[in-house]
Amino acid sequence: MAVFTYYPMIMTVINSLFATNLTGKAANFVGVGNYVTIFSDPLFFKSLGNTFIFVAVTSVSTIALALILARLATQRLRGAGFFRTAFASTMGVSAAAASILWLFLFNPSVGLISILLKMIGFAQVNVLTNPTGAMIAVILSSVWMGSGFAFLNLLGALQSVPQDYYDVASLAGWSNWRQTWKITIPMVSPTLFFLIVVEVIGAFKTFTQIDLITGGGPDNTTNFIAYKVYQDAFNYRNIGIASAEAIVLTVIIALATWVQFRFTERKVYYQ
């Protein structure tokens, strides 16, 4: 724990204050110089902006999708167990394997998504070389990968909501939509809050999909911060810059988590 968690954390802060020489060793003390460098680099801001878009869209969509799936799968029906397993199954697929599955779907010549796009009249069929297309592709695959985990969480929470509430609401003529909004969401709000925190942190750290599906491209559109840290550290061997970026990422995650606790938790309803 000390050697592989606290020591590296401190070393990262120290490294971020040094310039690195050609052998990749932190050599000269430059103070906040690395931070000045990254904050005056337009590429870093592009990475930051795209990371925020990705995190917001992915975490909200994942949770919304999982909530719909969980609502459908908790109705009293025969065979519900089968559908639960089907909806949870993406949790058993690793990010790397899932990336290969999606890479196949997006492939310009054999991918089903490309073929479908061609059928409805899109001229450009290589989704991954188009900046918007690549972003959508990474979001789609990430939402798919994350939905199983969110679904299993919400399923457990939904099952603890007494069926009577829905029965009364149905008698009163409430629509499904209104029942979800007025009964389900308040009742499972602790789980939703937990999921939002976890999904946002997870999305900030997205790496595997980027490495396998887009490689950060095209034109750095999907080069999110976690991936940029890796590239700067292990491809360009610039430990100082990479460490400074890693610290920025840590601070952003901590801030995002703090904001959620400060402003969202008040709305959470604990029984």
Interface of this chain with another protein, residues 61 to 90, rule: CB under 8 A: 69, 72-73, 75, 77, 83-90
Provide φ and ψ at 26, rounded to 5°. -70, 120
For residue 181, the Cα-to-chain-centroid distance in whole angstroms is 24
Told to check if 254 binds another protein by CB under 8 A, we report yes
Told to check if 161 binds another protein by CB under 8 A, we report no
Q: Which of 32, 36, 100, 259 binds another protein (CB under 8 A)?
A: 100
DSSP assignment string, 205-271? T--HHIIIIITT-STTTT--HHHHHHIIIIIS--HHHHHHHHHHHHHHHHHHHHHIIIIIGGG----
- Before 218, cis peptide (omega within 30)? yes
Q: Which of 19, 57, 60, 91 binds another protein (CB under 8 A)?
A: 91
Which lies closer to another protein via its Cβ, residue 25 or residue 182?
A: 25
| Half-sphere exposure of residue 68: CA atoms within 13 angstroms, side-chain side | 7
Told to check if 158 binds another protein by CB under 8 A, we report no
Told to check if 136 binds another protein by CB under 8 A, we report no
Token representation of residue 170: 């149905």
Nearest-angstrom CA–CA distance, 239 and 160: 49
Q: Which of 43, 53, 56, 101 binds another protein (CB under 8 A)?
A: 101
CB of 36 to another protein, least distance (A): 20
Which lies closer to another protein via its Cβ, residue 134 or residue 241?
A: 241
Nearest-angstrom CA–CA distance, 229 and 180: 41
Told to check if 152 binds another protein by CB under 8 A, we report yes
Nearest-angstrom CA–CA distance, 40 and 257: 26
CB of 220 to another protein, least distance (A): 18
Told to check if 263 binds another protein by CB under 8 A, we report no
CB of 128 to another protein, least distance (A): 14
CB of 147 to another protein, least distance (A): 7
Question: Which secondary-structure segment (H or E) carries 19?
Answer: strand 18-20
Residues from 176 through 205 that contact another protein (CB under 8 A) = 190-191, 194-195, 201, 204-205
Q: Which of 19, 129, 211, 264 binds another protein (CB under 8 A)?
A: 211
Q: Which of 11, 36, 168, 259 binds another protein (CB under 8 A)?
A: 11
CB of 58 to another protein, least distance (A): 16
Angle, vertex CA 257, rays to CA 251 and CA 258, nearest 5? 85
Which lies closer to another protein via its Cβ, residue 48 or residue 247?
A: 247
Q: Which residues of 96-111 are buried (b: 16+ CB within 10 A; e: fewer)?
A: eebbeebbebbbbeeb
CB atoms near residue 21 (< 10 Å): 13
Which lies closer to another protein via its Cβ, residue 174 or residue 194?
A: 194
